[in-house]
Amino acid sequence: MASITALGVGSGLDLAGLVDQLKAAEKQKLVPILEQKSAQQTKISAYGRLESAMDRVQTSIAALNDAASFKQQKSTVTGEGVLATAGETANAGRYEVTVTQLARAGSAASNSVALDQELTAADATLTLEFGAGGTQTSYDVDISAGSTLADVRDQINADKESGVTASLVNDGTGYRLALSSKETGEEASLTGFSGLASLTMDAATLRTGQDAELNVNGIAITSKTNRVEEAIQGVTLDLTAASGDPVTLVIERDEESLRGAIDEFVKNYNEMKSTVGRMTAYNGEGETSGELVGDRTVRTIEDRLRRDITDNLGTGDISRLSQLGIAIDEKGRLKVDEDKLADAVTNNPEGLSAFFAGENEEGGFAGRLNATLEGITAENGIIQSSVTSAQQRVDSLDVRKLRMEASIERSTERYRQQFGQLDGLIAQMNSMSSYLSQQFSILGNMQKGN
C-alpha cells in the first residue's frame, strides 16, 4: 500500500482543515497576552506625551526662578542712528543722544607692483605704524626672502598679533597690498608701513582711524568702537550713523516681558492639565477612555503639583499664588484675574520677585515647583520609572508570547501526527473493506456457477 503524503488522502476527510481550525483555536491563547502588551505600549506612549507637557511647564517656570526676570528694562528709541539695549541695572529715564562721528578703522595701500614680482632678495622686516591721535606704536612682521606680493599678504595674515588684515587689490595696472586695522579707533589706527624697498605706502590711500563721538544729555563722550557700553548705566548703545539730529532714548521697566513670562507658565500648566484630563477620561463604557485611567503615577503627579500650587510660601508680602489673581478652578486648571495680576506686575515687582524667585533657586514658588517637576521628569524620576516598569512588563509579555507560540506549534504538530495516524488507519480499514468485498463477490460468483 502506498504511503500517505498528505492529511485526508487516505481517509478522504478534511483533516488538514481540522488541524488549521485547532491551531486557530490554540492561537486564541495569545489574545490576552497581545492585549496586555498593547495596553503597556499605549501607556509608554502616553507617558512620553505627559513628560513633554511637564517639560514645557518646567521650562516656563524656570524663567520665573530668576530674579533678573523681574528687573528687566526695555529701551525705546525715537530717531535714526542709534540702537539701545537696556540691562537689569539700567535706571529708568529719558535721554537725548546725538552722534557726531562714527568710529572707523585705519587703512592704507601700497604702490602698484606686478603680482609675481620678487619684493625682497633677502629676509626683511615690514614695520607697521599705529596711533592716529596720540601715542605712536609699531609692530614688525618678518618677510621671507624671495616673497611676492601674495606671500607678503599671507605672512601678515598669519601673524595674529600684527593688528591688521591684508588683502590684494587690482588697480588695473598692477596689484596693491591693502592693509586695514583690525580694530576701530584712533589708538589702533594704522598710520603707515615701511621696510621693503620695492613696496612703499601710497600716502594718497591713507585713511586714519577715528573714535566715535557722541553727546548724551549734553555730556560729550568718545569711544574706540561704535558699541558704547555704560555711557548710560546698564545700557549698551550701538551707533549706526552720524547725524546732527538728537535721538530720544527712553528706559523703563519691561512689564510686558514679565507679564508674558507669567502668562506662559499659566498657559503651559493648563495645557498639561488638559493632556492629563484626556489621558484619564472615563466614559463608563471603556471604548473612548484615556490611556492612563486610574494610573497611580498620574495621581501622584497631580497630588504633588496641587500641593505646590495651593500651599503657603513663607511670610512675605505675597505667600500664595491666589494673591496674584491666579487660582485653581474646578477642573484643576489655573484661572487668572487679569486686573489683580496686572496691578501686581505694575505696582509690586519686588513682591513678585520675592514670591517667584525667592532668595535662592530653591526658595521661591518657582524653585519649589521646579524641584517637584524635576522629580517627575528626571531620568530617575516618577515618569521614567513608570516607563521602565511598563517596558519590563512588555519584555516579560514578549517572553510569554514566544513560549506560548512554541507551545501552540507543539500542539499543532501533535494534532498533525495523530490525524496522520488516524488517516493511515482509516486508509487501511478502507483497503481491507474493499478487499473483503472483492473476495465475497468472487465467492458468490463461484457458488452461482455450481
| 30-47 pLDDT tens trace | 888 888 888 888 899 999
With CA atoms as reference, report the closest residue to 334 among 237, 430, 406, 263: 263
According to the per-residue pLDDT averaged within each range, which of 160-169, 247-256, 417-426 is highest? Answer: 160-169
Average pLDDT, rounded, for the chain: 89
Please tell me which residue, 313 or 2, carries the higher pLDDT value: 313
Half-sphere exposure of 364 (CA within 13 A, CB side): 23
The pLDDT tens digits of the residues spanning 431-450 come to 787 777 887 777 777 777 66
Q: What is the pLDDT of residue 280?
A: 87
Q: Which of 21-25, 58-62, 214-218 has the lowest mean pLDDT?
A: 21-25
C-alpha grid cell for residue 84? 539701545
Residue 181 to residues 178, 186, 187, 213, 323, Cα–Cα distance (Å): 10, 10, 10, 19, 59
For residues 107 and 207, the answer to whether their CB atoms sit within 8 Å is: yes
**CATH fold group of domain 107-207:** Alpha-Beta Plaits (3.30.70)
Q: What is the pLDDT of residue 1?
A: 40
Half-sphere exposure of 253 (CA within 13 A, CB side): 13
The pLDDT tens digits of the residues spanning 216-241 come to 999 999 999 999 998 999 999 999 99
Give the C-alpha separation, 222 to 209, whole Å: 13
Q: What is the mean pLDDT of residues 59-82?
A: 91
Q: If you count them, how many residues does the chain have?
A: 450
For residues 249 and 97, the answer to whether their CB atoms sit within 8 Å is: yes
Given a cut of 50, is residue 3 above it in pLDDT? no
* Domain range list for the chain: 73-102+212-253, 107-207
Q: What is the pLDDT of residue 11?
A: 59
Give the C-alpha separation, 163 to 137, whole Å: 11
Give the C-alpha separation, 160 to 7, whole Å: 89
> Taking CA 113 as the corner, what is the angle to CA 112 and CA 117, rounded to the nearest 5 degrees?
170
Given a cut of 60, is residue 4 above it in pLDDT? no
